[in-house]
Every structure is written in structure tokens, then in C-alpha cells.
Structure 1
């Protein structure tokens, strides 16, 4: 799943999105902090390819994007909106293909601007990035080629506190960054960072009124933080493979960025530091049981302002959850299966 798959809905309930080989499932709290529903299929009976994407707007609506099979050997992208976790999502609607037709070109990513319009990004057959965005009054704009070259792995799409959309991509020897100059504008390629980045390790987070922070793992195995316009900072050694999950939260009265990642030992590792103050340092602390190799972790903040972490193993279907205790520091409740 590209994006944070653990979300807090408009009604305060938490929900999770669970990809399968041919569908996307959702589970949600029956009431905030209460028991969970059984998995149910999202968007009707449409057959989907694996690796969907999810994004959430300031209105708390979830926007879901996935590839679907079309004719033999070809695929197209589809989109659904989920307004509230316990309501049925809209049926999947076709978005087409960045190259008009063909097979899957890469995993999609989605971000939602301040007006609630989804922006869908995907690699195209030329190796660059293409985008399609919702119109202000319904429907979709035409596909746009944002350029770039030799893009690798998953993209990281994010909406800044300004409401403008940004997207990051890994390429040989560096990272590409596109940003909207104003609401509704086509994102432009603003900066390319020279860095030895591992593909499929990018995760972006809005961290200030004017900026976003990209987290990535470099070829030496270090987790780095980069804000366009500045130099990247080595934060700490990566706890394990894959991207981190990141969330802004309040810890002991401070605005902090919390990171989580499945560690090499199989447990979940957490690290926190004052937002945009990487020089303060961060250290991993592991929690919970050892997880299967395919397990991923996602972070959210519940309606009471408490950090929530969830892990999901697609091979076993096991979903584990923990919350921060009401005490100083990052003390967590016991992990439980839901």
C-alpha cells in the first residue's frame, strides 16, 4: 500500500485498508476506541491488481487508487472515494492510463489538496512521472506529463500545510521533487538532489507551513531527512528495509515527528524527535512481537490525540494495534490483534 493505510475518519473512527491479490478491503472501529468490523470489500466487485494507494484530505475523506486489468496484457487506473469508514465507498471509476493504453507502469501515489481534489501520480513508459487530477466541479483533468527520467520504485506524494501538493521520486543517483506553485497548478520539477537513495524507501510528511520533509534510506543503510532548499541530514541507521511510517504528534507538550519501521529483528522500532530539529538526535526503541517479513507498519493520531500504531502482514492477514498510554514519554499499551 502506497501511503498511510491507517486513517482517522471524519467521525473519529480509525480504519485500515488491507490489499489482497484482487481487491482492497477495509476494517473500521465500530466506535472510537471500540471493537472493529470484519473486513469488507471497497468499491464494488471490480477486480484489482495489488499495490493500491491511499491519500487523505483535510476533510478526512480517503481517496483510493489502484490498477485494474482491462484487455489482455493491459491495465488502467481506477479511483474511489471513501467518505466515512463505516459507509460504503464509491464504486471504482476509471482514470485511464498515463500513456493512453498499455500494461502497468509502476505503483500509483495519491495526494489530496486543500480543496479536496485528488492528485494521482504514476511513472509513465518514458520513465518520468505523469499526473491526473480531479476538477474543482467534478470529473478529471487530462493526463499531464511532469517529465523526469529513470524514475524507480514507489513515489511519495504529500500535501503541505499550505494545501499545495508535492511529489518525490527516486532516480539513479538522486531524488526528484515536484511542487505546485499555487493551488490547482500543475506541479513543476523544482529540484533534483544528488543522493544514493534506495528505491521504495521514500516517505514524505508535512512538517511546517512552508515545507515538507522527505525520509529515505541511502545506499549505506542510513535513514536521511531532506527538505528541498537545504542539505539532507543523516538521522540514524535504518531499523530495517522499506520505508518508514511518519506522523506529527504532541509528546510531552512538544511538536514531534514520530517514525516507525519494521526492524531487522522483526519487531516494530520507534524513534521520535522535535519536528524539523534533526540535530536533536533520534534513537530506535523496539516494541511488540516479531512479525512476518512482509509486515508493514502505519501510524495515526486518534481523536483523543493519542498516537496509534498498526501492523499488517498480507501473508497472514494479522492486524495488530497499540496506542500510547496516558503517561510521559512514548509508553505504549500491549499490542493486541483486532
Structure 2
């Protein structure tokens, strides 16, 4: 999974996306903060592989990208738009392969600009990064090779200030970044940043409450770092478990903060609140909820009332939620299976 799989739609209802049994499944609140629907298959009957990218535009629509088998030993990417989680999503539409044809080349990433156009990114067979974007009047443009030789499989795409798309990748030597100077323009590379990054730990967050993009990653020794373009990486605290953290920009006790969540090595969800633009002294993880099996995912979002919601999803599809308690602070209420 790449991207925020727990989303809040235009009507305030939350929805989740997951891959299972060669398909993508969606669940949604029937009304904000009320009962949930059962899982429904997304995109029609085509078989897709368990490598899903999710992005959401300012219109609240979800854009989904996955690999599907084409002929023996070859795959192509497909795209679907889900306008409202209570309705059926559009059928999967083939959008091609960064090298015209071949095997899967990496985990795709997707970001949506201010006009609602999806931008799809994936590593190509040459070890660089390729991009495909929707046209203003419908359809898709051609694939573009953005460079980035030596990029690892996992990418992080985010929509930043004024709808500008930003893309991040890791290499053996550090971090790569591409960005748009203006919405709708081509993505151009920035100078590479030397950093020690454990592959598969990248998370990008545009925090509108703090007006900026922050990147989170773990180094080979297990220390979680944050980096804002134009600055230097800053260590936060030891990562609680493997893989990337889930991140959410929120306001806690009147201060702009970033809330981080992760499945810890012990199997429980852990939460940490980092005040924006402040040091890491005193940061710590707080455990919450029951133990989860290996492979479980963790996500965070805000509900229709502006409360923080944490979610966990097991590989067999069991969904649990906990909402922020009434009053001050980020403490979560009792976890519920939905």
C-alpha cells in the first residue's frame, strides 16, 4: 500500500481501501461517525496485484492505481476513480507501462493536483522514475522519464502548497526530490540530499495547518528523522517498528502538530505528537489498542468533527478504529472493531 488508505470524503464520511484476494476492497461510514458498510469490490472484476497506490484530490475523490496481469509474465498499470465511497467506483482503466511492456517495476505512487488530475509515478526498468498524468480535458498524456537513476522501489508523492505536486525517492546515497514550480508544470529535480535512509520507510506529508511538506524516514540504525526541503534532516525518536509511519497534520491544544502512528515491534499501535518547528526533546511513543498480527497497517485521519481517528487493518480485512477523546490532548478512546 502506498498513500493514505484511510480517507475523509466530501460529505465527511471516512472510508478505507485494502487489497485482498487479487482485488481492491472499500469500506465506508454510512454517515459520518456512524455504522460502516461491509467491504465492496472496487474497479470491477479485473484481477489486480497487492500493490495499491491511493491519492485524494481537493475535491475529495479517491484515485487508485494498481498492477494487473496482461499476458504471461507481464503486467500493466490500471487506474480507477472513486467519487463517493457509497457509490461504485469507475472500472479499472489501463494506463500502460513505463517501459511499454514487461514485469512489474515497483510500487506505484499517485498524487492529485488542484485541478483534480492524477499524477502516477513508478520506478522503471532502468532504475529511474517515470511519470504519467491525466490531461485537462480527459485521457492520459505520455509517459515521461524523470531520471533518478538508482531509485529504490518505494516512492512518496504529495500535493503541496497551491496544488503543486512533489515526489520523493530514496537511493543508496540519500534522498531525491522533484517538484513543480507552478501547478500544471513539469516536475523538475532538486539537488539530491545525502542521507542514510532505510528503504521502505518514506512518508511525505503536506501539513496545511503548518503550510509545508515534511518527509519522514528511518535510518539504518532505527532512528526516525524528519526533513523539510531547504533544511537538514532532524532526528525525532527511535522508530517503534519497521516500515513507514502514518502522519497527520492536526491542531492539539491550539498548536499546529504532526501526529505519527506506527505498528510497534510489540504489535500494538503507538502514537506520538510532534509540535511543528520544535525540537525532539521529550518525544515518546504512547501505546494504544490490542496487539496486531504482523503485516497489519496503521493509518490516521480526521473525522467530520475534526477528531483524530486511528485505524488498524489486518491482512485478512479486520478493521479497528479509535477516535480522539473529548477534551484536550490527542488521547484515543477505546478501540472498536467495525
TM over 0.5: yes
Give the Cα–Cα distance (whole angstroms) in 2 for the partners of residues 133 and 280 of structure 1. Answer: 42
SS of alignment partner, residue 162 of structure 1: helix
Equivalent pair of 2:207/2:248 in contact (CA under 8 Å): no
Q: 1:181, CA displacement in angstroms?
A: 1.3
- 2:331 corresponding residue in structure 1: 331
* Equivalent residues, number: 337
1:229-248 to 2 correspondences below 5 Å: 229-248=230-249
Q: 1:156, CA displacement in angstroms?
A: 0.6
Pair 1:154-2:154 in alignment: yes
Q: 1:56, CA displacement in angstroms?
A: 0.4
Give the Cα–Cα distance (whole angstroms) in 1 for the partners of residues 38 and 295 of structure 2. Answer: 22
Give the Cα–Cα distance (whole angstroms) in 1 for the partners of residues 271 and 212 of structure 2. Answer: 23
- 2:271 corresponding residue in structure 1: 270
What do residues 120-175 of structure 1 show as CA deviations (whole Å, max 9, x unaligned)? Answer: 00000010000000111111110000001111131010011221000111110211
Pair 1:289-2:290 in alignment: yes
What do residues 43-92 of structure 1 show as CA deviations (whole Å, max 9, x unaligned)? Answer: 11011011111000111100000000001110000000001110110111
Give the Cα–Cα distance (whole angstroms) in 2 for the partners of residues 224 and 183 of structure 1. Answer: 28
- 1:254 corresponding residue in structure 2: 255
Equivalent pair of 1:5/1:54 in contact (CA under 8 Å): yes
SS of alignment partner, residue 79 of structure 2: strand
What do residues 253-278 of structure 1 show as CA deviations (whole Å, max 9, x unaligned)? Answer: 21111000001111011001222334
- 2:228 corresponding residue in structure 1: 227
Give the Cα–Cα distance (whole angstroms) in 1 for the partners of residues 137 and 281 of structure 2. Answer: 45
- Which stretches in structure 2 are left out of the alignment for 5+ residues? none
Give the Cα–Cα distance (whole angstroms) in 2 for the partners of residues 119 and 281 of structure 1. Answer: 38
1:41-60 to 2 correspondences below 5 Å: 41-60=41-60
Relative to structure 1, is the Cα distance of residues 75 and 189 closer, same or farther in structure 2, using a 3 angstrom cutoff? Answer: same
SS of alignment partner, residue 152 of structure 1: coil
Relative to structure 1, is the Cα distance of residues 76 and 276 closer, same or farther in structure 2, using a 3 angstrom cutoff? Answer: farther
SS of alignment partner, residue 87 of structure 2: coil
Pair 1:320-2:336 in alignment: no
SS of alignment partner, residue 162 of structure 2: coil
- 1:22 corresponding residue in structure 2: 22
Give the Cα–Cα distance (whole angstroms) in 2 for the partners of residues 59 and 213 of structure 1. Answer: 23
Give the Cα–Cα distance (whole angstroms) in 1 for the partners of residues 277 and 179 of structure 2. Answer: 19
TM-score (norm 2): 0.97
RMSD: 1.2
Give the Cα–Cα distance (whole angstroms) in 1 for the partners of residues 293 and 101 of structure 2. Answer: 37
1:1-338 to 2 correspondences below 5 Å: 1-207=1-207, 211-279=212-280, 281-314=282-315, 316-338=316-338
Q: 1:282, CA displacement in angstroms?
A: 2.3
SS of alignment partner, residue 11 of structure 1: coil
Give the Cα–Cα distance (whole angstroms) in 1 for the partners of residues 18 and 319 of structure 2. Answer: 9
Relative to structure 1, is the Cα distance of residues 281 and 166 closer, same or farther in structure 2, using a 3 angstrom cutoff? Answer: farther
SS of alignment partner, residue 260 of structure 1: strand
